[in-house]
Amino acid sequence: MQVKSVVLLAALLFGAAPAMAADGVFRVTLLGTGTPVPSPERFGNSTLIEAGSQRLVFDFGRGVTIRLAQLHIPFGSINAHFLTHFHSDHLNGLPDLWLTGWLRPPYGQRNHAMAIYGPPGLLKLTKGLTEAFTRDIEIRKEDEKDPEAGIAFDVHEKPPGLMYEADGVKVTSFLNDHGPLVTPSYGYKIEYGGHAVVLSGDTRYSAEVVRQAKGADVLVHCVTVIPNALLQKVPAYQAIYKHLASPEAAGQVFAEARPKLAVYSHIGLNGDARVDDLIARTRTVYDGPLQVGRDLMTITVGDTPTVGGQP
């Protein structure tokens, strides 16, 4: 394919190349607000943070590349990637983002190693992916001459604490409570320009999430709604409440942390549960600002968080 044709195809698929977030801009975009359940409305869990010169992606649920493409963000422009834990719905989009981000335009070719941060076990995961896709990698290096550096992983396995710092952006991880079997499991706090965003990760009620989110500008928290009739009928659903916050539990976190804006993502609406049920149950314990997330919703962080994005 000639260079002009490649550029034209890139323009058609991605639109004009996007500018980085301007200095001082701090923005959260919910790329995917869903659960393991396949859904065209709610893709797998993933969150984009743009802060000054930095683009950061947290978790890699199903469809993450599609949402980034809808935003006209080349995959190779992400500065760093962060994993909360090893449940498949948080990483089944990782091979796609890694491999497709390596290809030539219009995908926004990554010509450097993919920087990825997370809990112990991350190195094993990335080695396994590299082995699984060895033949694909060999073919593309020979056939398409994609740069070898772009398919490498730059892995940072770290215990809870400071994970990443660049151009005024600071990312700290902390342990949440995703149940006794799901360890380690991280939440993340992102600080920039005197403001803070906290991503709870997958968790039930966690005092550590409350501590990290005290006075934060935005707290993005997981939630699952299970009607009582379903709980009684299907015992397996009882296990979900041992791993994820009910509306009342999440609302209690919001009430204690008092962020400027509480946002739901990783939203499990089980059985005949609806968003109205989620809100009503949350309001029994929390009366502050609340948004139920949707895919491609944006929150611009400032003195007063501003919500926008797709309807």
In DSSP notation, 17-38 reads PPPPPPTT-EEEEEEE---SS-
List, edge to edge, every strand of the sheet that includes 169-175: 161-166, 169-175, 186-192, 195-199, 218-225, 261-269, 290-292
Q: State how far Cα 78 lies from the chain centre.
A: 13
Angle, to 10 degrees, between the axis of helix 247-257 and the axis of helix 275-282?
50
Q: DSSP 3-state assignment of 217?
A: coil
Strand partners, 262: 219, 290
What is d(CA 254, CA 248) in angstroms, rounded to the nearest whole number?
A: 10
**CA distances from residue 288 to 61, 181, 185, 259 in whole angstroms, order as listed:** 29, 33, 27, 8
Contact 204/178 with Cβ under 8 angstroms?
Answer: yes
Q: Which of 23, 59, 89, 202 is catalytic?
A: 89
Q: Is the peptide bond before 40 cis (omega within 30 degrees of 0)?
A: no
Q: DSSP 3-state assignment of 57?
A: strand
276 is catalytic: no
The two three-digit tokens of residue 217, written as one number: 């500008």
Q: State how far Cα 168 lies from the chain centre.
A: 21
3-state helix, strand, coil in the chain (%, to 5): 30, 25, 45
What is d(CA 102, CA 109) in angstroms, rounded to the nearest whole number?
A: 5
Active site residues: 89
